[in-house]
Amino acid sequence: MLDDYREQFGINEGALGLVIAIGFFTSFFAQLTIAPLADRGRSRQLIFIGLALAIIGNFAMAFSDTLPQLLGSRFLSGLGLGCALPAMRRVIIVSDPEHLGRNLGRVLSCEVGGFAAGPVISAFLVEPFGIPAPFIVIGTALALVTLVIFSMPIPEVPAEDHPTERFAVDLLRDRAVAAGVLVGIAVFFMIGTFDSLWALMMNDLGAPTWMANTGVTLFVLPMVFMAPYGGKFVQRVGPFRAGGFGMLFGAACMGLYGAISLPWLLMAVFLVHTLNDGMTVTGAGVAVGMVAPTERQAGAQGLLGGAQTLTGGVSASFAGVSYEVLGRTTTFAIAAAVITTLIVGARLLAGARWTTRGQLTAPPAHV
């Protein structure tokens, strides 16, 4: 929809990039600083307030036609989701630790499904009904989901178990938590790089238009349908091992994207890559859920989510500049090297807990 805002309201590309960026950075801020409050008996409040802000942000986007209005709307949406999502993941983990992999996979399916459905909804609604239509539809759907959520019981941390730490950064002293975060950073470095370059790369190689335009959607579809099964698999095999080896395979695919110049062969690598991600991408969330203290799950998930959000934005910016300056082959080689380095670092930090599997685990090993 960026071209619609540019054409109808005269907002330039740089300003639109700022609108997108502010949503990422406010979500990052909220996940690191506000989400840990859910571990202090405020899960219900954060979920309600966060979803309410996201709903207001969507409806505000529908009727925004100036840069300050768009920035304010995206600020509210990013802040709201940054508050609500870690609290929701905390509830999911502590409510049913035996099936945390499957359940976190379902959450990922919903998140990624929404990401994939957004452009499709926009394509169908903007032309006949105008720019406000998709935001009104999404805001209404989010409001209905909020009503359903609040008909359910939401377990809270007992007062005597409330953590004394205000923020969650201290959790990185636990080497296994830090390892899980590194795996998550690797995932979003890969996604940010791929998403920003696929269409550009395929166009430069003379690929059919459908290959360039459907790449990102096809990339996330296996995650939508496979993530619950992948989460169950990851929990059974071990989230560090499954997530780590899955990312090493992903790094190899990233290297091939830079080495291969035949669009159809690139598409074949891409399809195998997506299947791998569908089965292993939940590894980071499940790993952090397993090794973080039960009473600090919201802070741990917020720490992971914040790191991933920031990484996605930074990697997308890096990829665009690197592609223009260094070219396709070097850019994807750098991406593969970064991902591999992150996984090696995660392996070293996790130590004996690299083989952890099953449910929530034991006392941490500190740095």
**Kindly report the CA angle at 78 between 74 and 79, in degrees rounded to 5?**
115
Kindly indicate the confidence band of residue 1, based on its pLDDT and cuts at 50, 70 and 90. low
Write down the mean pLDDT value for the chain. 86
Does the CA dihedral 174-103-188-139 come out positive or negative? Answer: negative
Q: Give the Å distances, CA to CA, from 97 to 92, 102, 286.
A: 8, 10, 10
Q: Which of 35-44, 173-182, 332-341 has the least mean pLDDT? A: 35-44
* Range 116-133 average pLDDT: 76
Contacts of 269 (CB under 8 A, 6+ apart): 253, 256, 257, 260
Q: Give the Å distances, CA to CA, from 344 to 153, 175, 183, 238.
A: 40, 13, 9, 16
Report the interhelical angle of 297-326 vs 283-291 (nearest 10°): 150
232: left (phi over 0), alpha (psi -120 to 50) or beta: alpha
Say if CB 16 and CB 6 are below 8 A apart. yes
Kindly indicate the confidence band of residue 192, based on its pLDDT and cuts at 50, 70 and 90. confident
Tell me the C-alpha distance between 298 and 294, whole Å.
9
Q: Does 364 score more than 60 pLDDT?
A: no
Tokens 């996604």 correspond to: 191
Say if CB 224 and CB 274 are below 8 A apart. no
Q: Does 312 score more than 90 pLDDT?
A: no
* Range 161-173 average pLDDT: 83
Q: Does 2 score more than 70 pLDDT?
A: no
Residue 363: its pLDDT value, please? 46
Q: Class of 2-153+166-355 per CATH?
A: mainly alpha
